[in-house]
Amino acid sequence: MATTQTIAYNNFTTIVSLGERTIYLKFIDQINFVNFEGNVDSKELRLQFELADIYRLICDALNEEGENTVSTSINNGFMKLSFQCLVGGFLKINFEAILKEKMLSNDGQLTINFNKMEQKHESLMKKLELLERKMTKQQEENDVLMNAISNAMISLIIGGDPHAGSIANRKFCNINTTTIDINITGGRQANLENIKYLYKLEKLKISNHHSTPLNDIENKTVKELNINSVTNDANRFKTYFTNLTQKFPALETLEVNGYSFGSNESLVELLAFTPKKDKIKIINFINVTGYNVSELQNYCQVNKIMLNIS
């Protein structure tokens, strides 16, 4: 059994030390830096127990173990300790101890403050270690989850008869793929809505989509978008790619091939270009007609966008 214990009790740091003939008690007020201390023995406490047993009862009461408790009162420089203990599970005993006040020196106050800082530091270090273990475990779980996601496959419907409702074929790709080249053959209808779930996609090329509405396609990570079509229906393009830059917020390069717009169409308005907010850097137009060329050229010049028209 330890012969000295330091116990936190309310606003006090208490020291209980078992000697040969007495028990030394010290209560240090952590707020007001007032110190109460004194030596007590079994005779003074009016108990018929061995000193070691009394020491154990005092420590249990300060630690509030079981039904053992202690209350304090301070009056005229003295602290009165009132103990209520249960011995053997059936015998209740009450005893009191009186401690005298003693003012702490500046050195004593500094020592207490240092000890408090040291205890707080130790507590914070334990919390930090616990947090690090939790973070490590969480990272391991995330790695397993990301590995599973990376190996998952996602399907894009790239061929079907819109009249019969049949699906001709699908295109499967890993969900973490970075590049997709989709060619919709035979004028079939496609459903490319799942493209938004490809969380690492950077390059997207779509060809021959004239039977497929593209206005539902979006992706937050695509940087390069290439659109090729065999149709020259201006209304389709206006419907499919209204607010394009909002659907592809990370877009840096846009290439459009084979479109014919309505007379003097404003592509700045149609594509929802927003100065200083868009990330667009390069625009390539190949065989594209019917738009307001001077407006687009002026916009690109002012916003330092490379425009290539052929």
Give the pLDDT confidence of 246-286 residue by residue, as tens digits. 888 899 999 988 877 777 878 888 787 888 788 889 999 88
User: Does 294 or 213 have the greater pLDDT score?
Assistant: 294
185 shares a domain with 141: no
136 shares a domain with 71: no
What is the predicted pLDDT for the residue at 39?
92
Give the pLDDT confidence of 20-30 residue by residue, as tens digits. 889 999 998 87
Q: If residue 254 lies in a helix (H) or strand (E), which one and from where to where? A: strand 253-257
Q: Are 267 and 296 contacting, i.e. CB atoms less than 8 angstroms apart?
A: yes
CATH number (domain holding residue 17): 2.170.210.10
**Read out DSSP for 71-127?**
EEEEETTEEEEEEEEEETTTEEEEEEEEEEEEEPPHHHHHHHHHHHHHHHHHHHHHH
pTM, two decimal places:
0.54
Give the pLDDT confidence of 69-80 residue by residue, as tens digits. 999 898 888 999
For residues 97-106, give the mean pLDDT. Answer: 78
Cβ contacts of 300 within 8 Å, gap of 6 or more? 283, 306, 307
Boundary-marking domain end, from 104, 131, 166: 104
Q: Are 215 and 241 contacting, i.e. CB atoms less than 8 angstroms apart?
A: yes
138 shares a domain with 79: no
Query: Where do the H-state alpha helices sit in the chain?
Result: 42-45, 51-62, 106-150, 234-240, 244-247, 267-270, 293-302
Q: If residue 265 lies in a helix (H) or strand (E), which one and from where to where? A: strand 260-265
What is the predicted pLDDT for the residue at 163?
46
51 shares a domain with 186: no
Q: Are strands 23-29 and 306-309 parallel, antiparallel or unpaired?
A: unpaired
301 shares a domain with 161: yes
What is the predicted pLDDT for the residue at 252?
92
In this predicted structure, the answer to whether residue 164 has a pLDDT above a threshold of 50 is no
User: Does 14 or 232 have the greater pLDDT score?
Assistant: 14
Q: Are 202 and 231 contacting, i.e. CB atoms less than 8 angstroms apart?
A: no
Domain encompassing residue 253: 152-309
What is the predicted pLDDT for the residue at 202?
93
What is the predicted pLDDT for the residue at 84?
92
Of 9-18, 19-28, 142-151, 237-246, the poorest mean pLDDT is in 237-246
Boundary-marking domain end, from 151, 182, 210: 151
245 shares a domain with 180: yes
What is the predicted pLDDT for the residue at 189?
63
On the 0-12 / 13-18 / 19+ scale of CB atoms within 10 A, 9 is middle
What is the total count of domains within the chain?
Answer: 3
In this predicted structure, the answer to whether residue 187 has a pLDDT above a threshold of 60 is no
174 shares a domain with 193: yes
CATH number (domain holding residue 220): 3.80.10.10
144 shares a domain with 161: no
What is the predicted pLDDT for the residue at 143?
76
